[in-house]
């Protein structure tokens, strides 16, 4: 399930709707700004209903301070989606958790707690779901356009007749 930043497809919307927070001096985190960057699956046909949140700081570039996975559907949904009879671990599929395979920092657990608080903000979870739907629709449209173009190119090459090099005279 390859993930891509929401801001790559929708930069203006992401600029207005990406969550961030400012940590004051004396907090258990280094003071300053933190951005909660959304990544969604860009694999055509996937309907995982998940988001990966990379917590970044402006002055450290793409250094990941926390990588949080969040699934908002029921365990029944994920069990069916995964197409396995083996029981899935709810901690790895439902709700927010620190991705054990991704880069983390010494502050990741605190940032996970902050993300859980942000999730309680009115409308934030729905915003993530809306961003997911918009992102997925763009992925599927791009795939359909690419397939249509490929079918057209293949169809044209089959119907073309080779041009004769002889001149009629």
- Report pLDDT for 157: 52
- Report pLDDT for 163: 56
- Report pLDDT for 147: 81
- Report pLDDT for 129: 97
**Beta-carbon neighbour count of residue 38 at 10 Å?**
25
- Report pLDDT for 161: 53
- Report pLDDT for 86: 84
Mean pLDDT of successive 10-residue stretches along the chain, which has 169 residues: 92 96 94 96 93 95 94 89 82 87 95 96 96 97 83 54 54
Residues 23/30, Cβ–Cβ less than 8 Å: yes
- Report pLDDT for 62: 85
Please state, in angstroms and rounded to a whole number, the distance separating the CA atoms of residues 169 and 166.
Answer: 9
Q: Is 72 exposed, middle or buried (0-12, 13-18, 19+ CB in 10 A)?
A: middle
Element (H, E) at 69: strand 66-71
């Amino acid at each position: 399930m390859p993930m891509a930043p929401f801001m790559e497809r929708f930069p203006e919307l992401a600029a207005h709707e990406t969550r961030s927070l400012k940590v004051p001096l004396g907090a258990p985190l280094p003071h300053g700004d933190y951005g909660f960057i959304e990544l969604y699956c860009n694999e055509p046909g996937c309907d995982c209903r998940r988001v990966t949140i990379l917590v970044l700081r402006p002055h450290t570039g793409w250094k990941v301070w926390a990588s949080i996975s969040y699934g908002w559907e029921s365990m029944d949904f994920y069990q069916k989606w995964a197409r396995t009879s083996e029981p899935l671990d709810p901690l790895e599929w439902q709700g927010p958790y620190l991705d054990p395979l991704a880069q983390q920092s010494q502050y990741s657990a605190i940032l996970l707690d902050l993300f859980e608080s942000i999730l309680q903000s009115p409308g934030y979870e729905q915003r993530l779901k809306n961003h997911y739907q918009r992102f997925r629709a763009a992925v599927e449209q791009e795939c359909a356009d690419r397939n249509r173009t490929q079918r057209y190119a293949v169809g044209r090459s089959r119907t073309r007749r080779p041009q004769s090099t002889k001149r009629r005279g």
